A and B are shown apart, each in its own frame.
Chain A
Amino acid sequence: MTPHNDRSALAKKFAQYKADFPILSQTIHGKPLVYLDNGASAQRPMAVIDAEQRYATSMHANVHRGVHTLSQRATDAYEGARERVRSFLNAKSSNEIIFTRGTTEAINLVAQSYARPRLGPNDEILITWLEHHANIVPWQMVAAATGAKLVVAPINQAGELDLAAFKSLLSTRTRLVATSHVSNALGTVLPVREIVAAAHAQGVPVLLDGAQAVPHFALDMQELDCDFYVFSGHKLYGPTGIGVLYGREALLEEMPPWQGGGDMILSVSFQGTTYNTLPYKFEAGTPNMSGAVGLAAAIDYVDRIGLADIAEFEQDLLVHATHALTAVAGVRIIGTAADKASLVSFVVDGVHPHDLGTILDQDGIAIRTGHHCAMPVMDFFGLPATARASFAFYNTKAEIDQLATAVASARALFI
């Protein structure tokens, strides 16, 4: 990590990046866009847009099929993207990198191919109260099909996982732990190293949902030692429709294919089919090559800036936003964990989040309002919805101050 004793040097470094994102230079309702909905989907830098266009204009054909030049170029670009993801995650082998449509599809793949064939009545899947619906519903579907039980580890009033309770819920019946790395609704960073260690001590594999973690700090699969890690390209400044399942090679080898089709086979006859090797076994059909190339470009872009610097700068934004919003009368921050990624969920006394979202939009400020696809978290806090401002490295303290001012005027309208 580069030490930045001088905060202004860090702010100066990050002030230059907004210009890389063409979408951010527009006005909304006559006001400069302040995009604070990065947790839902981050914007794409020109480097990503260019990479996708370059692929489409000079490399595209189907992959793994043709002997002609374009097919070879497309295959090289696609497999190059896989290798780029491998190095980004420091996975041992590119066989451990499966491209999916996104986080949701990656979790469903593990649910259907890893969990479903293994689980039966009395088996348990352990998740936490902080999960996005995408890390709840696939397990409910497996539970319904196998008779297994979904067990939920509790959280405290700060929105932190109760680690002692989590450990006590790990038992000989637990067959899989599936937990978010960072809560999308609250920003809580979960103690994933302790979770992995506790689960592995019982011989239980762990899936980490990294959708909200990957944009914010550097990852190392070999150091993290989890068994599955999943994330989406579009939250990492890449395209939509592309995501990644990292899986420990030995586990992926044991798993049957999830979807059947082209590319995932070695030979097919009506008597039987021989499946392809990793990673192709899990990539039936023509994949999203353009998306993979865009994701690799996004990784290059983020790596050039440096995730250590991004983490430091975003923590500065988080502290600033926490202070600025707390200073607004009637604002209550939901999720006050000691370790948070750069997002703030909050409610405003007397102003429904949905009204707040409309009012801020008139000021050009985009935030997320609603249940954030995490209804159990909302229920825990007794709220139907919250407002959520989620920050990227292209956001500034001045934008956060605009947010706080706009929240204060919204409240003034309602009281």
Chain B
Amino acid sequence: MDLKELYRDVILDHNKRPRNFGVLAPPATSARGHNPLCGDQLTIYAKVENGIIKELKFEGSGCAISVASASLMTEALTGKTLGQADTLYTQIHALLTHADTPDSTSTVDLGKLAALSGVREFPARVKCASLCWHTLQAALNDPTTPVCTE
């Protein structure tokens, strides 16, 4: 395994300069996520109008993988429909957990998010990358229950 597979330039860039980092005031919906294993904590804020994610922000602290994943997620989903968000959630979940699925067989173009594929070679780190995605699901569907990876 090559560390550069995990820490690709896109990941390092989004860790150092996270996009859409900040808070959205209500009526934007939000949810908190926590990974007790490593102490990662983040809050996802989503402003949804007519089934479209108008704005998506996050704040918190975490490792490079969790920060970059959240940053990439906000970038990818801003302006998308809730249905598209659901589809992408499923695709990312498969990308992170199906170690036997090579990138090339994927029929969807994940764009920059494909940089997260290196994570699946590091099973201990999958939760870092998936935390923000689970938390977004909670923000959109069940904002009252905090998300915990354990």
Residues of A bordering B, CB below 8 Å? 29, 351-355, 358-359, 362, 369-371, 378, 384-385, 413-414
Contacts and interface: CB of A to CB of B under 8 A. Distances in A.
Given A354-B63, A355-B64, A358-B124, A384 B1 contact: no
B62 interface: yes
Interface stretch (B24-32, B37-45, B98-106, B132-140): B37-45
B62 A352 contact: yes
Contacts of B40: 354, 384
13 contacts: A354-B38, A354-B65, A355-B64, A358-B6, A358-B122, A362-B3, A370-B38, A370-B39, A384-B39, A413-B3, A413-B7, A414-B12, A414-B64
Contacts of A354: 38, 40, 62-63, 65, 125, 128
Contacts of A384: 38-41, 61-62
A53 to B, nearest CB: 31
Contacts, number: 49
A355 B63 CA distance: 6
B38 A385 contact: yes
Interface of B: 1, 3, 6-7, 12, 15-16, 37-41, 61-65, 122, 124-125, 128
Nearest to B36: A371
B16 A378 contact: no
A191 to B, nearest CB: 30
Contact of A369 (B6, B15, B38, B41): B38
Contacts of B1: 29, 362
B69 to A, nearest CB: 13
A362 B2 CA distance: 8
Given A354-B38, A370-B38, A385-B38, A359 B3 contact: yes
A351 B15 CA distance: 10
A284 B125 CA distance: 40
A103 to B, nearest CB: 21
